[in-house]
């Protein structure tokens, strides 16, 4: 990639970050709408290219869903960076997964209502395909942060299982009243996460015992590949 292209891409992402930062407070009250995006563009301080609509289409061609995709990607990258910089790192695999999932969920704390609104938007039938892809990407980033680069059946089962853990933990966090203080404010959610990780560890043990059974994984692999690359609505 040329230096010029790098510079253009960096400026492009910087503008999108500014719009996202301006949109988060408004989205908590008004939801994730095109009006929220246009207001954010107007107040973000970025250069308006022609009209608000033209600038929005340039930065986020598919509108709200592109903005939510960008936010999710930013959070995924921050999660992976937090793990890479952790010192000391967790030693056991279950503790490593817990660290990453908890970090990803807890990063939403300053924007809890905006995140709740985002979850509602992603739950719409028209957004089901992209929502599945974002969840899969988060699970994939977690496993890759842990050094897993498998491409076989194990690749899919790990990510499918972790997707369920992440989504259920996020749902628990949204409903958690957060009565405690400080890092233990959402203690109920972190207890819930610990139980889900226990379930995953048990599943991995069962899967390891069953790996030598004469079962064809090809049909399931084909289905999971479609989920990974195109989403269930394609």
Q: Tell me whether residue 82 is in a domain.
A: yes
Return d(Cα 183, Cα 175) in angstroms, integer: 17
In a domain, 1, yes or no: yes
The verdict on 38 and 149 lying in the same domain is no
pLDDT of residue 227: 45
Do residues 32 and 131 share a domain? no
Is 112 in the same domain as 194?
yes
Count how many domains the chain has: 2
pLDDT of residue 5: 59
Q: Looking at residue 82, what is its pLDDT?
A: 96
Residue 114, both tokens: 């905006």
Quick one: 127 and 169 in the same domain?
yes
Same domain, 77 and 121: yes
| Angstrom distance (rounded) from CA 27 to CA 13 | 20
Give the pLDDT of residue 6: 67
Domain end (from 46, 61, 76):
61
Tell me, yes or no, whether 32 and 83 share the same domain: no
Domain-embedded: residue 234: no
SS3 76: helix
- H/E segment holding residue 120: helix 112-122
Which residue do the tokens 């009243």 mark? 177
CB 132 within 8 A of CB 232: yes
Residue 150: per-residue pLDDT: 77
Same structural domain, 79 and 134: yes
The per-residue pLDDT for 202 is 73
Cα–Cα dist 41/48, whole Å:
8
Alpha-carbon torsion (50, 54, 58, 60), positive or negative: positive
Q: In the listed set 61, 81, 108, which residue is the last one of a domain according to the structure?
A: 61
Q: What is the pLDDT of residue 149?
A: 79
Give the pLDDT confidence score for residue 180 in this predicted structure.
60
- Buried b / exposed e across 91-107, counting CB within 10 Å, b at 16+? eeeeebbbbbbbbbbbb
Q: Which domain holds residue 206?
A: 68-229
If asked whether residues 91 and 116 sit together in one domain, one would say yes
Whether 22 contacts 44, CB under 8 Å: yes
Nearest to 23 by CA among 78, 79, 76, 63: 63
Q: Hey, what are 141's tokens?
A: 């980033």
* Boundary-marking domain end, from 61, 80, 104: 61
| Per-residue pLDDT, 181 | 61
Same domain flag for 80 and 36: no
Per-residue pLDDT tens digits of the chain, which is 234 residues long: 566 556 767 889 999 999 999 999 999 999 999 999 999 999 999 999 899 999 999 999 999 999 999 999 999 999 999 999 999 999 999 999 999 999 999 999 999 999 999 999 999 999 999 999 999 999 999 999 999 877 777 888 889 999 999 999 999 999 998 766 655 789 999 999 999 998 877 755 555 554 554 444 455 445 444 544 444 333
């Amino acid at each position: 990639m040329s230096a010029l292209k790098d510079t253009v891409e960096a400026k492009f992402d910087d503008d999108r970050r500014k719009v996202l930062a301006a949109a988060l407070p408004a989205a908590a009250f008004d939801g994730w709408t095109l009006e929220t995006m246009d207001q954010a563009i107007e107040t973000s301080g970025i250069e308006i290219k022609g009209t608000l609509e033209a600038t929005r289409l340039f930065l986020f061609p598919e509108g709200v869903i592109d903005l939510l995709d960008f936010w999710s990607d930013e959070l995924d990258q921050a999660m992976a960076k937090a793990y890479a910089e952790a010192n000391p790192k967790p030693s056991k695999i279950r503790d490593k997964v817990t660290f990453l999932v908890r970090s990803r969920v807890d990063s939403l704390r300053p924007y809890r209502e905006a995140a709740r609104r985002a979850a509602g938007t992603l739950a719409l039938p028209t957004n089901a395909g992209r929502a599945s892809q974002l969840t899969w990407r988060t699970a994939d980033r977690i496993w890759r942060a842990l050094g897993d680069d498998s491409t076989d059946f194990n690749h899919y089962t790990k990510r499918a299982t972790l997707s369920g853990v992440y989504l259920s933990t996020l749902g628990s966090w949204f409903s958690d009243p957060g009565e405690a203080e400080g890092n233990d404010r959402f203690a109920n959610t972190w207890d819930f996460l610990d139980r889900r990780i226990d379930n995953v560890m048990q599943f991995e043990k069962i899967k390891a015992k069953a790996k030598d059974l004469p079962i064809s994984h090809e049909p399931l692999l084909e289905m999971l590949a479609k989920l990974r690359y195109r989403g269930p609505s394609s």
